[in-house]
Amino acid sequence: MGEIMVIVVPIKQVPETSNVVLDPITGVMIRSSSKAILNPLDLYAIESALQIKESRGATIYAISMGPSSAIKVLKEAIAMGCDEGLLLSDRAFAGSDTWSTSYTLASAIKKIGKVDLIITGEKATDGDTGQVGPEIASWLNLPVSTYTSHILEVEEGSIKVKRLIEEGYQTEIIQTPCLLTVLKEIAFVRLATLKGKKRAMNTPIPIWGEKELELDSSYLGLKGSPTKVVKIEPTKVARSPIVVEAIEGESVVKGVSSLIEFLQSNNVLTKRGLHE
Ligand SMILES: Cc1cc2nc3c(=O)[nH]c(=O)nc-3n(C[C@H](O)[C@H](O)[C@H](O)COP(=O)(O)OP(=O)(O)OC[C@H]3O[C@@H](n4cnc5c(N)ncnc54)[C@H](O)[C@@H]3O)c2cc1C
């Protein structure tokens, strides 16, 4: 790519813990209910962009949609080596589902201008849908490669990647501009340097809202979101273990037959399975 490559990495601020508190009325997460961190899976997206920058030069924008506290995660991305940070923040964005979130992120990427590559994490540890990446690609009408495990080659106009599929791995060449969602196995994440942290402190983070992005307000926030999180229930794992004592002789035989009974009564083992 004669011109310097432009890479955008959307990163999300997420609660540090899984015990998130939801507003009982709106079902929206009360983000101040726990300490916020950079979505751990986005570190691999940042690292992937930095490795491309080192191998062939690039300008990397880290962008995040969230409350003003999300500036912290953008500073972390700059301390790791990203060039610019952009915060998309506006009361109108509150309660956005993935469709509305991806619309806002895609609009910001359009406003940045010529972008060659967008790299997102596999998923966010709170919403955990993995939908935002492919949705951004859809808004921007870009090809997308999900579950990318390796970036093999970055050429003029195309990228060769390996991605995880159910049957194993698939290698594909994808035209740029495009979007990749990346897996943890793609790279070892570097630590931010002191020099990087100093640069992050001195790098201003512009904040874009509904007005700056000229967004369609009917697509925004809780009202503009087709999906509403109405309730989150922790999964209850009901365990009722049986204890089988099989020390020697008789008790082993008894133990094995009560184990078989248990497996049959739970439809793990069928009568037929026993004889095959
Ligand atoms: C427990 C819970 C369940 C939810 N379930 C749903 C649901 O089923 N459907 C739905 O539409 N919404 C749901 N939401 C709302 C959803 O979390 C938000 O819309 C969120 O902004 C994006 O979805 P996600 O967290 O699933 O991100 P994912 O789609 O898992 O994130 C994938 C990648 O997209 C990028 N990304 C995601 N969010 C942002 C952001 N705000 N800024 C920058 N980059 C970002 C990151 O690179 C991230 O790695 C849920 C929220 C919670 C807390």
> What's the predicted TM-score (pTM) here?
0.86
Listing DSSP states for 40-61 in one string gives TTHHHHHHHHHHHHHHH-EEEE
Tally of CB atoms within 10 A around 102: 24
Per residue in 120-142, pLDDT (tens digit) is 999 999 889 999 999 999 999 99
Span of 35-49, 62-76, 253-267 with lowest mean pLDDT = 253-267
Residue nearest to atom 45 of ligand 1 (CA): 12
Summary mean pLDDT of the chain = 90
Q: 145 exposed, middle or buried (CB, 10 Å; 0-12, 13-18, 19+)? A: buried
Q: Determine the pLDDT at residue 2.
A: 61
92 and 208 in contact (C-beta within 8 Å)? Answer: no
- Examine the pLDDT at 58 and tell me if it is beyond 90: yes
Confidence of residue 250 (pLDDT cuts 50, 70, 90): confident
User: What's the CA gap between 226 and 219, in Å, rounded?
Assistant: 9
Separation between Cα atoms, residue 200 and residue 84, nearest integer Å: 9
Residue 17 tokens read as 């813990």
The pLDDT-based confidence of 248 (bands split at 50, 70, 90) is: confident
Substitution site in 38, 129, 184, 230 for ligand 1 pocket (most atoms within 8 Å of beta carbon): 129
Can you list the domains of the chain with their CATH numbers? Answer: 5-219 (3.40.50.620), 237-276 (no CATH)
Q: Which stretch of DSSP H or E encloses residue 154?
A: strand 144-155
CA 157 to chain centre: 25
Element spanning 102, H or E? helix 98-112
Count of H-run helices and E-run strands, the chain:
8, 11
The residue-averaged pLDDT of 193-216 equals 97
Ligand 1 pocket mutation, candidates 38, 100, 229, criterion most atoms within 8 A of CB = 229
Mean pLDDT of 75-96: 97
Question: How large is the average pLDDT for residues 109-124?
Answer: 98
Closest to 85 in 3D by CA, of 42, 54, 125: 42
Q: What pLDDT was estimated at residue 28?
A: 62
Instruction: Tell me, in angstroms, the distance from the centre of ligand 1 to residue 97's CA.
Output: 7
| Closest atom, ligand 1, to C-alpha of 39 | 49
Residue among 43, 101, 222 to mutate when testing ligand 1 (max atoms within 8 A of CB) = 101
Structure confidence by residue, pLDDT tens digits, 175-197: 999 999 999 999 999 999 999 99
Q: Which atom of ligand 1 is nearest to the CA of 9?
A: 47
Q: Is any ligand 1 atom within 6 A of the Cβ of residue 127? A: yes
